[in-house]
A and B are shown apart, each in its own frame.
Chain A
Amino acid sequence: MGKRLLLRGNEVIAEAAIRAGCQCYFAYPITPQAELLGYMALHMPRLGRTFVQAESEVAAISMVYGAAGAGVRTMTSSSSPGISLKQEGISYLAGSNLPAVIVNIVRGGPGLGNIAPSQCDYFQATKGGGHGDYHLIVLGPSTVPEAGKLTMLAFDLADQYRTPVMILADGLLGQMMEPVELPDPVDPATLPIKDWATTGAKNRTPNVVLSFDLDPDKLKQMNLDLQAKYRAITENEIRYEETDTEDAEIVIAAYGTIARICKSVVRTARAEGIKIGLFRPITLWPFPYDPLKALSERVHTVLSVEMSAGQMWEDVRLAVAERAETPFFGEMGGIVPTPRSILNEVKKHVR
């Protein structure tokens, strides 16, 4: 482990990407993730690596496609409206089985929205966003140190499964400073060779990167292969955290920044004698349906708390079904629910 650093979430994600061996970073400025570009603009060239400020989000994700296809670790980052523009390239990355990391520091929406923190892009991140039958692995950090850890994991998962991975954070996490310790840097030269990449067909048959087949039977097979990959990811990579759930009668389901706030709500409520716990999905796709289902058999209520109109709530209800009550509490427009408002909501459901 390296020395302790005091950095913003955006800068920690950038530093973690560098330490993971990211060789090419392409992006377009947008608030509230601009510090990520600034950090990469300073540090990538010093390491002999590539930083390009692209002419658009569409171009940035297409540059990622090219670099990923050429077999290097590569990343782009943006915030909500910019991520909407990247959806074309994200679909192509998924269809072409290309590993890449995409960071979304979510802000209020829809449209131009605002620059305050929000979780209103959960549907877009976990249910598709672009065209076609595909999924991203979606990781939802709830603290700055975890943002660093999950960014490094994202590069490993992307390579392992040849799939794009999204870090779904929010403006609060991007802007907040916390002390972090990151693992030592990975030397890109020590990473496994990607024998499928377009590195020049010297002494081998040519490699082709594509997401295309006019023959319906062959395109069906491409899709079946993708679905098999998604099943493997679902079997192997589900991550979540349970806090104080052993004897809980009521559980809060929350991810990201708001999950951290809910953790302190759990502590406060426990001090008041309420048997409450927290269920925090870390992989938002694949969603931890089975662990939440198992938990829902032991509690009377699963309260979803989000900085949105209730998007992850749909997955919570799918997991819980009729086994427990599934109320929702949330805020929109970039408003972060306070611990007091969440505690008041909890108390409405205590039996």
Chain B
Amino acid sequence: MSANLENMVKVFERPKSLTDAKFTYCPGCHHGIITRIIGNAMDELDIADRTVGIAPVGCSVFAYLWYKADCQQVAHGRASAVATGIKRARPNLIVFSYQGDGDFASIGTAESIHAANRGENITVIFVNNQIYGMTGGEMAPTTLIGQKTATTPEGRDASLFGYPIRFSEMIATLDAPAYVTRQALFDTKHIMETTRAVKKAFQYQVEGKGYSLVEILATCPTNWRMSPVQSNAHVAETVTKVFPLGDLIDRG
């Protein structure tokens, strides 16, 4: 066996920018894939030793455990403001925030929009799974109409709770951002596209082009009460109808 292994070519391995700490995410959740994609971008651009990641509040609160890079864990919703502080203090650092839909598009609305509007040279990874995972499956600003959550037990009623917010489209109305895109992970093709988009977002920051935002439609099988397979199908067939995929701005 061992002799054969030496002759084999390694075609898949953990990105060098990731630690071997175990994920705290549920089975079938997309956070793990996204973490890996970020690690891949850090590897390919060789930036891990000058990157600072920002861990938010929510399921990804432990994000600082998984990168071989400096990290700051911050208050709910404030990641884009903290990123501003880090980047302004040390412009040579590569700064990215990792934020869920509640963090980025609800409690952090002001911080998110104004960091984008200032054109801060940072990268935001915005994970949109339409639900609050960590607190037990409450409504997110992105929850679909009719979607049942812990706080919309009869389904989201637009007359009471408004509509799923297309935050990236709002950011795309601004003059400053360099790159705004929405991606998904429900099949291999889209994982590859997301991988390219995340690398491009970091690449733009390395080149000093300004603010980049990659929104990623993700699953939450636990709180959606679906299997991982059903969850992927739900993103492909239903969620993408409300949140269309593709680039919204590319000023590169």
Residues of chain A touching chain B, judged by Cβ–Cβ distance below 8 Å, are 23-24, 26, 50, 52, 54-56, 58-60, 62-72, 74, 88-89, 92, 96, 198-203, 206-212
B73-A199 in contact (CB<8A): no
The answer to the question of B64 belonging to the interface, with a C-beta cut-off of 8 Å to chain A, is: yes
Surface stretch bound by A, among B86-94, B184-192, B227-235, B240-248: B86-94
25 A-B residue pairs with CB within 8 Å? A23-B89, A24-B88, A54-B114, A58-B111, A59-B78, A59-B84, A59-B110, A62-B81, A62-B82, A62-B85, A71-B89, A72-B89, A74-B89, A96-B72, A96-B73, A198-B70, A199-B70, A200-B49, A200-B51, A200-B52, A200-B93, A201-B70, A206-B68, A206-B69, A206-B71
A-B contact count (CB 8 A): 136
**Is the beta-carbon distance between B72 and A59 smaller than 8 angstroms?**
no
Considering the chains assembled together, what is the distance between the CA atoms of A74 and B74 in angstroms?
A: 17
Shortest distance from the beta carbon of B134 to any chain A beta carbon, whole Å: 11
Task: Give the distance in Å from the alpha carbon of A69 to the alpha carbon of B64 in the complex.
Answer: 14
Complex: how many Å from CA A66 to CA B194?
A: 28
User: Is B48 an interface residue when CB atoms closer than 8 A count as contact?
Assistant: yes
Question: Which 5 A-B pairs rank lowest in CB-CB distance, beginning with the nearest?
Answer: A66-B85, A62-B81, A63-B85, A210-B73, A198-B70
Query: What 1/0 flags go to B184-204 for Cβ under 8 Å of A?
Result: 000000000000000000000
B251 interfacial contact with A, CB 8 Å: no
Question: Residue on B with the closest CB to A55?
Answer: B114
Would A65 and B82 be within 8 Å (CB), given that A23-B89, A52-B88 are in contact? yes
B114: A residues at CB distance < 8 A: 54-55, 59
| Contact A198:B73 (CB < 8 A) given known A24-B89, A66-B86 | no
| Contact of A24 with B85 at beta-carbon distance under 8 Å, contacts A198-B70, A200-B70 already known | yes
Task: Tell whether, in the assembled complex, residue A89 and residue B89 are in contact, meaning their CB atoms are under 8 Å apart.
Answer: no
Q: Contact check, A198 vs B52: say whether CB atoms are below 8 A apart.
A: yes
B81 touches which of A24, A63, A207 (Cβ 8 Å): A63
Interface centre among A64, A68, A70 (most CB of B within 10 A): A70
Q: Tell me the chain B residues, 40-69 only, with Cβ under 8 Å from chain A.
A: 48-52, 55, 61, 64, 67-69
B75 on interface, CB distance cutoff 8 Å: yes
A92-B75, A201-B48, A212-B73 as given contacts; A63 in contact with B82, CB under 8 Å: yes
Query: For residue B90, which residue of chain A has the nearest CB?
Result: A70
B48 / chain A contacts, CB cutoff of 8 Å? 201
**A88 CB contacts on chain B under 8 angstroms:** 75, 78
Residues of the A chain whose Cβ atoms lie less than 8 Å from the Cβ of B55: 210
**In the bound complex, what is the Cα–Cα distance between A53 and B130 (angstroms)?**
32
B196 to chain A, nearest CB (A): 25
Additional 9 contacts, C-beta under 8 A, given A56-B111, A59-B110, A206-B69 = A54-B81, A54-B114, A62-B85, A63-B88, A67-B88, A88-B75, A89-B75, A206-B67, A208-B71
Contacts A65-B78, A200-B49, A200-B50 known; A208 to B89 CB distance under 8 Å? no
- A66 with B72: CB separation less than 8 A: yes
The complex places the Cα of A202 from the Cα of B93 at a distance, in Å, of 11
Which B residues are CB-close (under 8 A) to A50? 88-89
